[in-house]
Amino acid sequence: MAYVLVTGGAGYIGSHACKALKAAGYTPVTFDNLVTGWRDAVKFGPFEQGDLLDRVRLDSVFAQYEPIAVMHFAALSLVGECMLDPGLYWRNNVAGSLNLIEAAVAAGCLNFVFSSTCATYGDQDNVVLDEDSAQMPINAYGASKRAIEDMLHNFETAHGLRHVIFRYFNVAGADPDGEVGEFHRPETHLVPLMLDAIDGKRDALTIFGTDYDTPDGTCIRDYVHVCDLVEAHVLGLKWLSDERGSRVFNLGTGTGFSVREVVDQSHAVTNRPVPCHEGPRRPGDCTKLVSGSTRAMAELGWNPHRSTMKQMITDAWRWHQSGHYEA
Ligand SMILES: NC(=O)c1ccc[n+]([C@@H]2O[C@H](COP(=O)([O-])OP(=O)(O)OC[C@H]3O[C@@H](n4cnc5c(N)ncnc54)[C@H](O)[C@@H]3O)[C@@H](O)[C@H]2O)c1
Ligand SMILES: O=c1ccn([C@@H]2O[C@H](COP(=O)(O)OP(=O)(O)O[C@H]3O[C@H](CO)[C@@H](O)[C@H](O)[C@H]3O)[C@@H](O)[C@H]2O)c(=O)[nH]1
């Protein structure tokens, strides 16, 4: 059996990745400490509860399954939290990843797929962001991800660790079958907060800033459907098994949506009013973050066909209305 060790497999993106891996013929082994993940989201393969900081536990899981690859989603990723407690992010994300990478190398598991973020590019408003853009993170979360990218390069040089790094833009949507979905506690992301406001589970959405230098004054982001995102990871595994070398890919569609456009589309999809009011800018938000790269499409053959705003909101709304979801 071809096992893939999926750290963070009980989380939002990792649980969707497990479903995609199973569909592609792999057996995903979730390694997760449930700090922000959910036991119920582990549905597609074995669950091994454990912490990245526990090297002994990692070694025993590598020995038990002998995975052919690692997909590393486990991380803390709240920008507000990392501003208050950067040490938490350096310890959990960077020290945790070092343990994982050393355990993988020790076990001879030399194929590694890593979740990075466009937050590593930092505050480069209105710049075309491709994989060669300078990485200038403005917070400990982005800095922790850049450090892990550097670590992967060093371990390739020393130990032959082949890796694919994916820098995600904004991830949204849910499994169209409703088996898994987005379930962050606390929730900070635009789409689920807006759907909560629409069905009365939370107060009105606050639009963070209406005086940006954009056509309607609100921030612009590049949204990618979680199912398209995890398909890229399956293609990344194939890329590594075909021995095409280590590579970095942006995962975004290249199309930007303003906050107001997302609100309008949500109204259209749900046919309900979106309770919202205008508030001040949120510290740390960039004006516009849109991928300027087609590398994943050209080289991996990635086709993000679900990543229309209408489809992402339709799938997220279905998940919101399912019995699984409680705000
Ligand atoms: N959601 C987004 O829009 C987005 C954008 C860019 C990058 N990312 C990255 O994608 C990855 C997954 O994000 P998500 O939205 O699914 O987050 P999530 O919080 O839903 O999932 C993260 C999972 O990692 C687990 N985890 C955290 N620290 C751990 C540790 N020390 N040991 C074991 N398990 C641990 C958590 O319990 C959780 O299940 C993260 O690395 C994140 O930085 C997400
Ligand atoms: O209540 C809200 C929440 C968000 N927004 C706006 O909506 C946009 C998207 O915000 P959010 O969903 O919080 O995502 P980002 O802050 O863009 O960050 C996400 O996308 C990054 C990559 O771009 C990842 O690194 C982060 O982990 C992930 O949270 C931004 O302009 C926010 O200002 C609001 O107006 N009101």
Question: How many domains are contained in the chain?
Answer: 2
CB of 97 sitting under 6 A from ligand 1? no
For 87-119, the pLDDT digits (tens) are: 999 999 999 999 999 999 999 999 999 999 999
pLDDT of residue 126: 63
Q: Quick one: 162 and 208 in the same domain?
A: no
Residue found by looking up tokens 């997760």 in the block: 32
In a domain, 273, yes or no: yes
Q: Quick one: 112 and 229 in the same domain?
A: yes
Q: What is the ipTM of this complex?
A: 0.97
CB of 74 sitting under 6 A from ligand 1? yes
Q: Quick one: 97 and 182 in the same domain?
A: no
Q: Quick one: 239 and 265 in the same domain?
A: no
For 150-200, the pLDDT digits (tens) are: 999 999 999 999 999 999 999 999 999 999 999 888 899 999 999 999 999
Q: Quick one: 152 and 287 in the same domain?
A: no
Q: Quick one: 242 and 266 in the same domain?
A: no
User: Which structural domain range is residue 122 located in?
Assistant: 3-171+224-251
For 238-255, the pLDDT digits (tens) are: 999 999 999 999 999 999
SS (H, E, C) 218-271: CCEECEEEHHHHHHHHHHHHHHHHCCCCCEEEEECCCCCEEHHHHHHHHHHHHC
Q: What is the mean pLDDT of residues 269-297?
A: 92
pLDDT of residue 125: 66
Atom of ligand 2 nearest to the CA of 172: 12
Closest CA to 103 of 31, 39, 164, 173: 31
Structure tokens at 2: 């071809």
In terms of pLDDT, which residue wins out, 318 or 80?
318
pLDDT of residue 327 exceeding 70: no
Q: Quick one: 125 and 231 in the same domain?
A: yes
Pocket of ligand 2 (CB under 6 A): 77, 117-119, 169-170, 188-190, 193, 205-208, 219, 221, 259, 282, 285, 289
pLDDT of residue 325: 59
**Best of 125, 166, 216, 259 for a ligand 2 pocket test (most atoms within 8 Å of beta carbon):** 259
Residue found by looking up tokens 């990218």 in the block: 149
* Count of positions (residues) in the chain: 327
pLDDT of residue 128: 79
In a domain, 327, yes or no: no
Q: Quick one: 86 and 180 in the same domain?
A: no
Any residues with CB less than 8 A from the CB of 189 and at least 6 apart, and which? 170, 172, 182
Q: What is the CATH number of the domain that holds 273?
A: 3.90.25.10
In a domain, 61, yes or no: yes
Instruction: Look at 41-45, 174-178, 192-196, 280-284 and tell me which has the smallest mean pLDDT.
Output: 280-284
Q: Any idea what the Cα angle at residue 165 is, between residues 159 and 169, rounded to 5°?
A: 165
State the distance from the centre of ligand 1 to the C-alpha of 8, rounded, in angstroms.
6
Is 141 an annotated catalytic residue? yes
Q: Quick one: 48 and 118 in the same domain?
A: yes
For 46-62, the pLDDT digits (tens) are: 999 999 999 999 999 99
In a domain, 326, yes or no: no
Q: What is the CATH number of the domain that holds 234?
A: 3.40.50.720
Q: Quick one: 247 and 263 in the same domain?
A: no
Q: Quick one: 137 and 164 in the same domain?
A: yes
Q: Quick one: 108 and 214 in the same domain?
A: no
